Amino acid sequence: MATITTGIDAISFYTSRYFLDLKTLAEARGTDFNKYYTGLGQEKMAIPPPDEDIITMAANAALPIIEENDLEDLELLLFATESGVDQSKAAGLFVHGLLNLPKRCRVVELKEACYGATVGLQMAMGMVQRNPKAKALVIGADIARYELASPGEPTQGCGAVAMLVSANPRILAIDPEAGLFSDDVMDFWRPNYRDQAVVDGKYSTRVYLNALGETWKQYSERSGRGYADLARFCYHLPFTKIAVKAQERLAKINGVDLSTDEAEILVTDGLRYNRITGNSYTASLYVGLNSLLDQCVEDLSGKRIGLYSYGSGCVAEYFSGVVQPGYREHIRAAAHRAMLENRTELTFQQYEDIFNLSFPTDGGDHKFAQYRTGSYRLAGVSQHKRMYEKAT
Ligand code: HMG
């Protein structure tokens, strides 16, 4: 069977309008802010206001794609998240309703920590291979939460990325070869009764880097490509410093002599957004891809990008894609820049107050105050039903 070129035809990123500067956090926690700025490579973390959740972020990310593309042939909506709001109903159905998407469409929620959106992308491409006229919307959206004053606290954040998957994509044609790795480990997890993750931080970082080696090995064997065939590298970004370490590890595996400065050049454009928004779990790798495509001064047309996806627990995948000529006409660099420049800084007290808010569970009618959001907001909850509305 002939292989059809498939991949990302449109891509859009959304994050909260509020952030906490990690200098503020460092001061409150009695830590040298350089530990966060330099040691972790994180400057700011996006904090969702009480009327923002994964569904509003997902709908806000997907809206421009819906407005700018004909989605009559949309047959699949995959919503990857580890911040699910319901044990039964797929989060994607709320988005499907808010965006008035075609009814003849499959809608499913996917979960495997930060890896979920990558399997979504692969499944969507499989569907397009079978029916090249069909399109799929793959969304990753998450809110990263760790206990207050824990080592994970400066690596929180939130965001959503929506990707339209089609045949003959205008932005990134994804290569068919991938390297895979799964292992039953307890590096990071969140039992159903908790709303903050439990993490063995240092161990998780070792597992992440080890899985990179495993996936790369299979990717390079299957594709016949080596380190030099890739022009830039994107990584899952729990904190951006890990990408520099990962790049150094990849160079070492391939016997390439690489200074830290050289490693930084290969990854740096892909880190700019995550450095000021923080971890967004499933969305994180694709926030990094947006950052690379939007921020790289060099024209990446025809260049091959390496992508490393990692989800704790763990599942990892190494894959690649070729940036399509003319991609700059289809990315949303100006909109992303405007969104990131137009955010409100929180005080430490405001951050802690938002963190400590608990979601009403009494089945009563609760209306939520209006904060700054994108086009959709969580208006409240009534009789255990989340109520969404267009933000005014
Ligand atoms: P920690 O114990 O706070 O930090 O934990 P540290 O003491 O290891 O310091 C961090 C770095 O800052 C070190 O650099 C220090 O040297 C440096 P390194 O030695 O590693 O190169 N440092 C300084 N630098 C400059 N000036 C200073 C200074 N002080 C120290 N004054 C950790 C860090 C990442 C473990 C913690 O934040 C954590 O647990 N985070 C959450 C877990 C995580 O992000 N894991 C990453 C891999 S797992 C993953 O990616 C999956 C995930 O996204 C979840 C999912 O899949 O759903 C998390």
Instruction: Answer for the pair 181, 211: CB distance below 8 angstroms, yes or no.
Output: yes
Q: Is 364 in the pocket of ligand 1 (CB under 6 A)?
A: no
Ligand 1 atom closest to the CA of 82, numbered from 1: 57
pLDDT on residue 391: 95
pLDDT in tens, 275-287: 999 999 999 999 9
Q: Is 32 in the pocket of ligand 1 (CB under 6 A)?
A: yes
Taking the centre of ligand 1 as the mean of its atom positions, its distance from the CA of residue 201, in whole angstroms, is 7
Residues in CB range of 43: below 8 A, 6 or more apart: 21, 22, 36, 37, 275, 276
Nearest protein Cα to ligand 1, atom 10? 39
Average pLDDT on 317-335 reads 98
Q: Is 22 in the pocket of ligand 1 (CB under 6 A)?
A: no
Query: Distances from the Cα of 277 to the Cαs of 77, 86, 244, in angstroms?
Result: 25, 25, 18
Ramachandran angles phi, psi of 68, nearest 5°: -100, -5
Taking the centre of ligand 1 as the mean of its atom positions, its distance from the CA of residue 362, in whole angstroms, is 38
Element (H, E) at 46: strand 44-46
Q: Is 279 in the pocket of ligand 1 (CB under 6 A)?
A: yes
Average pLDDT on 120-148 reads 97
Average pLDDT on 301-307 reads 98
| Spatial distance between the Cα atoms of 87 and 85, rounded to a whole number of angstroms | 7
Q: Is residue 1 very low, low, confident or very high in pLDDT (cuts 50, 70, 90)?
A: low
- In degrees, rounded to 5, the angle at the alpha carbon of residue 69 between the alpha carbons of residues 66 and 73 is 90
Nearest protein Cα to ligand 1, atom 5? 151
pLDDT in tens, 161-171: 999 999 999 99
- Provide DSSP, 169-201: -SSEEEPS--EEEE----SEE--TT-SS-EE-H
The reply to whether 330 belongs to the active site is no
pLDDT over 90 (residue 137):
yes
33-39 long-range contacts, CB within 8 A, separation 24+: 36/154, 38/241, 39/241
pLDDT on residue 262: 84
Q: Is 199 in the pocket of ligand 1 (CB under 6 A)?
A: yes
| Spatial distance between the Cα atoms of 174 and 351, rounded to a whole number of angstroms | 39
